[in-house]
Structure 1
Amino acid sequence: MYNKNKQVRTNTPPSQLQAGMTLEMTVARKTDIGYFLRSDKDEVFLHKNEAHGPLDMDDEVEVFLYHDHENRLAATMDLPYVGMGEYGWLEVVDLSSRMGVFLDNGINKHLLVFVDDLPKLRDEWPRPGDRMLVALKQDKLGRLLAKPVTEQEVMQISVLADESMKNKNVEATVYKVIAAGAFLLTEDDYIMFIHRDEMTERMRIGQTVRCRVSFVREDGRLNGSMRERKELQYGEDAEKLLRYMNNRDGAMPYTDKTEADIIQEKFQMSKSSFKRALGKLMKERRVEQVDGWTKVIKTD
């Protein structure tokens, strides 16, 4: 969990209670279902389900303030994973196409990332089980919401990479998606960018992937790829073509002259990758091209 500015918890009474505060309060009254807590002249209700065991009059307890499901300011002794002035990774627990994404912040009520703070394309939204890097904010009514971290906040988290990272495999989680690709933060807090051409699938916010560092930039950031290094990828593509032909009597009606869109549809690889793989097989005398067909060379 990242803490930009660890929230100060204090016995000093605030002038007005607000959602997102973590503070010490005193038990002022008890009821059958809970406790009224007091800080200076302000009171807030703590339900028994939100207390860590029975409380007595004048007990002092540390609580977090939030709006309950009936939109009333309430207290809980369950402290959040991320408080005001902090940011961290929270797990996605539910989605609403109308409202947005709900996150588990360690208390009974889930935290909403509003639809306006999410990508316009729904397939770039996170899915349940993904993790989002977020901070807290309040709406106009003072209710707590989560928001994706800003680039400035990510810069405060991140560390600079050196050349030793090149070609290493890392795990990284997407925190931002743009038209050209995706920005990720690795498990060791390096910022990485993966261009769309280096993806093996369309990426979404909150997705964690295994990828390779393809380049270390002068500013300490990384460029990444979900593809194997070219010399390894050539071999995998070549074997894929061989399997395709062997399953079809050792031949296919595709050559290095075949249109790129047909290659992409049939083999899910670019025309250049197809030609490199085909060239490898021809150089090794494993296939030949005859009359618009590619055929496996039979060996006795």
Structure 2
Amino acid sequence: MDQIIGRIASGKVTDENDKYYFVQIEGETFQLDKQEIKKPLKLGSNFKGFTYENEDHKMQITRNAPKTQIDRYAFGKVVGFKHDLGIFVDIGLPNKDIAVSLDDLPTIKSIWPSVGDRLLIALKIDKKGRIWGQLADEEIFNAIAKPANNKMMNKNVKATVYRNKLAGTKVLTDDYQLGFVHPNERDVEPRLGQHVSGRVIGVHPDGSLNLSLKPRAYEAISGDAAMIFAVLKHDENGHLPYTDKSDPKAIKKFFGISKGQFKRAVGSLLKQRLVTEDDQYLSLTEKGRDQEVE
């Protein structure tokens, strides 16, 4: 039986009722949903499809084979979990979600995949003939990865977490490039399978990336501070003749905000070392000049 389950197999149609055809393969009978079949099958004809045990513990065969199979990896979406068992992944079967054992998940449950996250898995069969999801290992990710080039530097990317380690987080970008996030470049440790947004802060000779999940400086500030920073960035000299000593009416006329709002916004920019202030000018620092505004 374990040589059939979770694979594409061929058998003979031996019976039918109102809802199902019944296909026999090596002495085991599998039900086939008639809704899948546009042209009626004849008894005695051959049928080829993907075999599995559905959620009602019935052996079933489907012509709509999932991309995820034995020794064949594909992404599936997490749809649920049980703390004493593991998590469940939708691979496209109509009435069967695939369990990934808690033995294969991080020991820290707070970084277990959550509903909506995605995992790259293949199928495996245990000694009792049950189907489980098998997480892709480092070798699989290396095999499917594509090299990045130096043009990726400072680009925004989307990526899926595939390994959580004390030394950092490993991800695969949506363009199938390998990336690494050092603990200093994240505010919290992301979940396994989480889809994250980051930016490229380094490109290695082997084509892998260093990423940061922290916001850019101009993204980390908001409202008035972001507006003032953008105005400074667009000034040819990178400075403006406005400080906390400027006339409130002049500040209101130029920036459209009160002097109190201006001082709080400038304080935020000073704290992030994006600007300096003297008696006459508010100026960009070297860090502020290097920071892009999109």
Alignment deviations for residues 141-167 of structure 1 (CA, whole Å, 9 cap, x no partner): 121111211000001100111212111
Q: SS where residue 116 of structure 1 aligns?
A: helix
CA contact (8 A) 1:16 1:42 kept: no
Map 1:242-261 to 2 at 5 A: 246=260
**Unmatched runs of 5 consecutive residues or more in structure 1:** 1-14, 256-266, 268-273, 288-300
After TM superposition, give the deviation of residue 174 of structure 1 in Å. Answer: 0.9
Alignment deviations for residues 53-80 of structure 1 (CA, whole Å, 9 cap, x no partner): 4422123222111122343433233311
Matched with 1:185 is 172
1:279 to 1:55, Cα distance in 2 relative to 1, 3 A: closer
Map 1:144-163 to 2 at 5 A: 144-163=131-150
1:280 aligns with 2:280: no
Alignment deviations for residues 219-273 of structure 1 (CA, whole Å, 9 cap, x no partner): 211000123456x478769939x99x957x968xxx9xxxxxxxxxxx9xxxxxx
Q: SS where residue 224 of structure 1 aligns?
A: strand
Q: Which amino acid aligns with 2:82?
A: S
Alignment deviations for residues 75-120 of structure 1 (CA, whole Å, 9 cap, x no partner): 2333113111210111111122221111111112111111111112
Q: SS where residue 213 of structure 1 aligns?
A: strand
1:215 aligns with 2:208: no
- TM-score of the pair, normalised by structure 1: 0.71
After TM superposition, give the deviation of residue 217 of structure 1 in Å. Answer: 1.1
Match of 1:48 among 19, 33, 49: 33
Q: Which amino acid aligns with 1:207?
A: Q
Q: SS where residue 153 of structure 1 aligns?
A: helix
Higher mean Cα deviation, 129-138 or 43-52?
43-52
1:81 to 1:281, Cα distance in 2 relative to 1, 3 A: same
Q: SS where residue 58 of structure 1 aligns?
A: coil
Match of 1:85 among 71, 75, 81: 71
**Unmatched runs of 5 consecutive residues or more in structure 2:** 227-243, 245-256, 283-294
1:61 aligns with 2:47: yes
Higher mean Cα deviation, 191-200 or 16-25?
16-25
Q: SS where residue 27 of structure 1 aligns?
A: strand
Q: SS where residue 127 of structure 1 aligns?
A: coil
1:179 to 1:284, Cα distance in 2 relative to 1, 3 A: farther
1:110 to 1:171, Cα distance in 2 relative to 1, 3 A: same
Identity of aligned residues (%): 29
1:171 to 1:285, Cα distance in 2 relative to 1, 3 A: farther
Q: Which amino acid aligns with 2:275?
A: K
CA contact (8 A) 1:214 1:225 kept: yes
CA contact (8 A) 2:21 2:34 kept: no
Q: Distance in 1 between matches of 2:279 and 2:141?
A: 48
CA contact (8 A) 1:36 1:43 kept: no
CA contact (8 A) 1:94 1:102 kept: yes
Matched with 2:213 is 226
Q: Distance in 2 between matches of 1:234 and 1:30?
A: 63
Q: Distance in 2 between matches of 1:16 and 1:96?
A: 25
Q: Distance in 1 between matches of 2:126 and 2:207?
A: 36
CA contact (8 A) 2:270 2:276 kept: no
1:176 aligns with 2:171: no
Matched with 1:101 is 87
1:21 aligns with 2:16: no
1:149 to 1:33, Cα distance in 2 relative to 1, 3 A: same
Matched with 2:116 is 129
Q: Distance in 1 between matches of 2:2 and 2:56?
A: 20
1:238 to 1:282, Cα distance in 2 relative to 1, 3 A: farther
- TM-score of the pair, normalised by structure 2: 0.72
Q: SS where residue 82 of structure 1 aligns?
A: coil
